[in-house]
Structures are given as structure tokens and as C-alpha cells.
Structure 1
Amino acid sequence: MANTVFNNTHINSLQSFSKRHGITILILSIFLASCNPTKSYVSNQGAIYGTIYHLTYESPNGKDVQDEIEVEMQKLNSSLSTYDPEAVISKVNKNEEVVLDDYFLTVFNRAMEISEITNGAFDITVAPMVNVWGFGFKNKEQVTQELIDSLKTITGYKKIHLKDGKVVKDHPNTMLDCSAIAKGYACDVVANFLREKGCENYMVEIGGEVVAYGENAKGKAWSIGISNPKDDEFLVNQSLKAVVKLPSKALATSGNYRNFYVEDGKKYAHTIDPKTGYPVQHSLLSSTVLADNCMTADAYATAFMVMGLEKSIELANSVEEIEVYFIYSDEDGNYKTYASNGFKSHLVKEN
């Protein structure tokens, strides 16, 4: 059997786990699988969280466990989807009595940690600010300083905390949205499930976020492609900016591949700063983060899109648990890249 290549995974999540402050995100994932008589690999794909997932795993006895995996993913959805009125997070947002499950607590606690490390660049209360601007800033004419000031009173990660097993809010109208971390965590949940099933080699990809462990059916490290930003409205003509080997690591990308504006010949990302309520102005177009778990990679990738290139490089160099790869626009509007030293060791090729 020939190698199977999955690509063109275009993330435009508008449903339960819509991502990145309304930003379109793109990552191309390459999954190498083949028929090998000494190993039995299973591949699954489907729709979840408003995006597409791909799984490839060496399953004991060749058993396909897709149905069981989807049950696990739906459990997470019942905890963290703001589109499900009965989900734990929805009841928290409505100030209803609810028992916080392990999914919610794991994500909430990690989100608070990364919010503190990034000085609020990552913030699970920012959704109202993002929504008021609209996708691509389509509502910008309706945004006033008075409106932003009113939203500031209900946003900010320091306005929420856990006490006696409950989320306590400084303001009852504060809303939580974990979409910028939950999809990465979903990859971790599926990966943990596969390990419990005895799978020693696997790749889990949900909407461009990836967890890989061991090797593919060809006995090599899993390879993931990061797309090259292009001014291509329909994303038809695409190429890879880099290919990354992913032995026993997680990878997440946040970026603006179509959703940016040009001023004086320079491209700027459409991203809202949770602290100001206004768009940031910097040249970072894509941030890719390597970490031991995808929840962490996912959150940092989002935070870096708020922070911009210089601050992101400074922070990334101080956080030992991550490695980074940034695509940005220089003063002439050309695409440039930055890779941390640890990330460079994972690069297979770069265009």
C-alpha cells in the first residue's frame, strides 16, 4: 500500500471549539502510514468541535477504537463547549450550581498558570472583547471607548478563581471560553486513551493541533507540515514553510493566514489584546509551539499571537517547557522565520 498523506487541514472553527479569537488558522499535517506486515496501524478521521480530526495508531491486534475515542471526545465537549447549554462551562457562565469535573479543572488550572506567565496575553475571559469587534474587525465602526471600558469590568483572568470547588467571579457577567486551549487538551485526552489501550505508536491531530508518540508504520518519527502564509483567499495554492519531525511531542499552531491587514506595505495580524480590548499591531503571522503536552502548546501559541515577535521570543527563551517557530512579516512585507534552538533540532526542512 502506498503512503497515505493527509493535508490541507484548514481550521476555521466556528462551532464548539472555535479558536484564536475568531482568527482563521491553518496548519498542514502530514501523516505517514503504510502497510507493514510486522505492525498493524489503524487510521481514523471524522468531524468534531467544528473541525476535522485524523488519528493513526498502532493498535494491539489491529482493533479499530474510533467509536470509543469519539465517546471520549464527546465527554470533553460536555465539559468545555460553550455551545452546549448543559456543559459544565455553560453552567458556570450562567452562574448555575454545577460540579466541576476533572476536564474543566485541568484546563482551568493550566489556563490560569499560563495567563500568569504571559502576563494576561492568554486569557479565557477575553471572548466578549473579541466578539464585539467581529471577525476581521467587521464591527469596528461600532466599537467605542465606552463599550471597551464596560467590557474591561467583566474581563481579565484575575477576576476569576477557584474556591471550595467552585468558580468565583468578581463580576457575575464574566464569561469563560476555553476554546484557545481545549482543542489541544482534547489531543492529550485522546493520546492518553490510546496509551491506556496499549498503543505504543500513535499520532493524534484535531484541527491542526497534534500529539505524536513513537514512530509511524515506516519506523520513522511522525512528520508535520507547517503551511506557508499566502495571500490566497481560497487557500488553493498552498506550500509548506517547514516540515517538523515530532518524536513523542505535542505541537500547536496559531496564526493569521488570511486575516491580516496591510499598512504602509507591512502585514499586521488581527488579534485583540485582552488587557486593552483593542487590536494589537505587530508583524507576527504564525506561532508554532512544541511542548510535552498539547494543552500547553495550544495556550502558548495563542498568547504569542497577542504578544508579538519580540516579546514572544523573550518569553519563549525563559520558559523551559516549550520550543517555538514564528513566521512574521519584515519591514518590506516579506515573510521571515524565527526558530528557537530546541525547535531547530526538530526541523526536517524549511523553505
Structure 2
Amino acid sequence: MWKHAGKTIKAAAAVLTLAAVLSGCGPAKDGAATAAQTNSDPISATFYVYDTVATIKIYDEKATEQNIDEIRDLLSKIDLELSRTNKDSDLYKVNAASGKEAVKVSQGTFDVVKLALSYAEETDGLLDPSIGPLINLWDIGHEGAKVPDKDDLETARKLTDYRKVVLDEANLTIKLEEPGMVLDLGSIGKGYAADQVAKYMHDHDLNSALINLGGSSINAVGGKPNGADWNVGLQDPVKSRGSQLGTVKINNETIDSSGVYERFFMEDGIRYHHILDPRTGYPTQNGLMSITIVSDNATDADALSTAAFVMGLEKGMAYIEKQPDVEAFFIMDDNSIHATSGLKDRINLTSDLYHLTD
């Protein structure tokens, strides 16, 4: 499996399309996840970075406000590297120079783009960081989104080709060969940021924390202060945010989910969601409502949740089963839940609407 991010401290990303609602923390933005049951009052902070809301809660008694300030600085640095909308960021400048010239970037930006391209190769382009033109065209999640014109869609699809991203490691430059190409690191950026914060915790001997980057990357650093597992609520994908279908316990792990329930629009009775298939240019239509990954680090989990979703249940399940230290469960539109062998016994269903398959 991809261990490019290293085994920093295992984390918990976007708890499944989950609206983790556990006593001790409020519901996450974007309905994704989280909350811990603990008697300790954490040192915490919430701020906007990398186009999302980041919430950090540190339960270790050694934590200070200086730790929060340093984490904020770390995330701000990542924003200046990877944000697609920040005009001062490395990624923005690379996209602005598409088809023109190579752009010198920081070591961090270079490493993340290189990692994203390795994911693209691993998945035969199902996870393509150059998918930006398609994302821009569909504009799902924003007012006025509609099914694009077929000619425009084909143009954007042809611009989605990770093989046309040129890296120069000696000079730390990135070039997009075709005008109009756009890198988008949404499939791994939050996971990468979460892993960097988890690494900071590890380096500063902070052993109990929750890191929530927009609800789609939630890291559980260690367990609760008493060593117990964190209990995470799993969002019911057909109900309002905060409605759970069950819970799962994690300790020093990552949970990340992708689903069709948060960002979508309806047109002619069809739901068009934000998870696009680079092969067709359209949102995937394979019966999946959501997929949740449990992994050793957030970067792998972030990438794997998207890739496996595009693959669909059969191929996605087979692929995840081959990855060491990775588990997953898939929720289908018939309310069946398919879990990998190492996760079935860890899911505690609380809703009668869903059932685990054998």
C-alpha cells in the first residue's frame, strides 16, 4: 500500500460521511465526523485554512497555547503551498502558468504533487490530480451548478491527464504542459495536512488529540487521555447531518470517507455528486452512497477513499483488501454495508435501516 506519508501518528479523517456526534465535541462541518468522549477539557482552536475549517483539540496535559499557535502557522504554510484559490499559493501559480512555463515551488509543494502523481500511476488515473478542469466545469457545491455541455465536457476531460504534469526535482519546478490544465489536490491535500499536524504532535510528545480538517480529514492522535478508544459516530447518508447509523472505535488511526450526500445537485431526477470519474468526466454512478477508510495515516486514507469510490464496490473492495493496514466499508444505495474482513466486527450499527452483509 502507499506509505508515502510515513507512519506519523495514525489519524482519523473524515469519519465516513459521518456526522460524528459524540459527547465532548460538536458536530463537524460538512457532516463528516467526530467527537470524543472524555472528561478532560482540551486546548482547542478553530481556524480557516486550505479552503476549509480546521479544528484542533489537544487533550494532553502538556499542551499549551503555543502549540496551537505553532499548528496554526504550520497549516498556514500548507495553505500557501497547496490552496487552489489562494492567489499567493504555489499551486495557484502553477495553474496560472499552465502551458507557459515551469514554476518554482517549495519542497513541501513539490513532494505533495509528486505523491499525488504516484497515486495516479497506482490507480491508472482513477485518482488524477489534474482533474481541476472537470471540477471547475461541473462546479458542484455552488449555486447554479448544472450538467455541462458535452463539447465543454470533452475538452475538460482531455485536459485531465496526469502524464502531462512535468516535475523537475533538481530545480523544484512544476509545469503543466497544456494551456488550461489545472491541478487540484483535494483528494489528498487535507489528509496530507492532517498527517503534518499529527507529526507535529508526535514530535512534541503530545499523545492525545483530535484533528479535524473540514470534517473530511479527522485524525485521532493516540487514544483518550486515559488510553481508551475514541468513539466516532457514522453519518447516515440519507438523513440530515448529525444522524448516525452507528459508531466505530478508533485509537491512533485515521478515518476518511467519500460520499454522494453532501455536495450534489438534481437535474431531471438524477443526482449529480462531486466525485468525478476522470475516464468519463461525469460523476460516478455505481450504486455507492459512501465509502469509509480506516488506515494508519490520513494521506493514504484520503486518497484511497476517492479511488475506491470511483472503482465501485467489487473492484474497490478487492483493491482495499490487498492494502496492508487498511480497512473499509462501503454503503450501497440499497442500504447494505459491505466491510473488509478486519472491520466487520468493529462497526456497531444503531440504525435498523442498514445491514452488514456476510
Q: Which amino acid aligns with 1:325?
A: F
Partner of residue 48, structure 1: 49
The correspondence of residues 142-181 of structure 1 with structure 2, limited to 5 A, is 142-144=148-150, 146-163=151-168, 164=170, 165-181=172-188
Give, in angstroms, the shift of residue 228 of structure 1.
0.6
Moved more, 201-210 or 55-64: 55-64
Query: Where does structure 2 lack aligned partners over 5 or more consecutive residues?
Result: 1-21, 352-358
1:94 Cα deviation after fit: 2.1
Once the two structures are TM-superposed, the CA of residue 287 in structure 1 deviates from its matched residue by 1.2
Question: What letter corresponds to residue 280 of structure 2 in structure 1?
Answer: T
CA distance in 1, matches of 2:46, 2:147: 41
SS at match of 2:342: helix
Letter in 1 for 2:299: M
Which secondary structure does the structure 2 equivalent of 1:73 belong to? helix
| Cα displacement (A) at 1:81 | 0.6
Q: Which residue of 2 aligns with 1:5?
A: 24
SS in 1 for 2:104: coil
Matching residue of 1:19: none
Instruction: Tell me the matched-pair count.
Output: 322
Give the drift of 1:297.
Answer: 0.5
CA shift, 1:187, in A, is 0.8
1:149–1:217: structure 2 CA closer, same or farther, 3 Å change rule?
same
For 2:343, the aligned partner's letter is: F
Out of 103, 126, 133, the position equivalent to 1:128 is 133
Deviation at 1:268, TM superposition (A): 7.6
Find out whether 1:227 has 2:229 as its counterpart: no
Instruction: Tell me the amino acid that sits aligned with residue 311 of structure 2.
Output: M
Shift in Å at residue 41 of structure 1?
4.6
Q: Contact conserved, 2:246 with 2:348, CA < 8 A, in 1? A: yes
* Residue aligning to 1:198: 205
For residues 322-341 of structure 1, the aligned pairs below 5 Å read 322-330=326-334, 335-341=335-341
For 2:248 and 2:81, the matched residues in 1 are separated by 32
Counterpart CA distance in 1 for 2:337 and 2:270 is 15
Q: CA deviation at 1:87?
A: 0.8
Look up the match of 2:70: 68
Is residue 242 from structure 1 mapped to residue 249 from structure 2 by the alignment? no
Q: Is the 8 A contact 1:132 1:143 kept in 2?
A: no
TM-score (norm 1): 0.81
1:256 equivalent in alignment to 2:263: no
Query: Equivalent of 1:94, from 87, 93, 96?
Result: 96
Q: Are 2:109 and 1:104 equivalent residues in the alignment?
A: yes
Structure 1 contact 92–98 (Cα < 8 Å) conserved: yes
TM-score normalized with structure 2 length: 0.80
Match of 1:319 in 2: 323
CA distance in 1, matches of 2:274, 2:180: 26
Q: Deviations over 1:152-187 (max 9, x none)?
A: 332121221323432233314311111221111111
Could you tell me which amino acid in structure 2 is paired with residue 180 of structure 1?
S
Question: 2:287: which partner in 1?
Answer: 283
Aligned counterparts of 1:213 and 1:279: Cα–Cα separation in 2:
33
Matches of 2:322 and 2:118, distance apart in 1? 15
- Please provide the CA RMSD for this pair: 2.8
Greater relative CO, 1 or 2 (CA 8 Å, sep 6+): 2
Greater CA drift, 164-173 or 202-211: 164-173
* Superposition deviation, residue 127 in structure 1: 1.9
Distance in 1 between the 2:321 and 2:259 partners?
20
Q: How many percent identity over aligned positions?
A: 28
Tell me, in whole angstroms, the C-alpha distance in 1 between the residues paired with 2:235 and 2:55. 17
Where 2:175 maps in the other structure, the secondary structure is strand
For structure 1, the 5+ residue unaligned runs are 12-25
Please say which of residues 89-98 and 245-254 is displaced more in the overlay. 89-98
Query: Structure 1 pair 105/141, CA: closer, same or farther in 2 (3 Å)?
Result: closer
User: For 2:167, what is the secondary structure of its paired residue?
Assistant: strand
Cα distance, 1:31 vs structure 2? 1.6
SS in 2 for 1:180: coil
Deviation at 1:318?
A: 2.2
- Which range is displaced more, 124-133 or 56-65? 56-65
Residue 14 of structure 1 corresponds to none
CA distance in 1, matches of 2:82, 2:252: 26
1:33–1:41 Cα contact (<8 Å) kept: no
Distance apart, 1:270 and its partner CA: 5.3
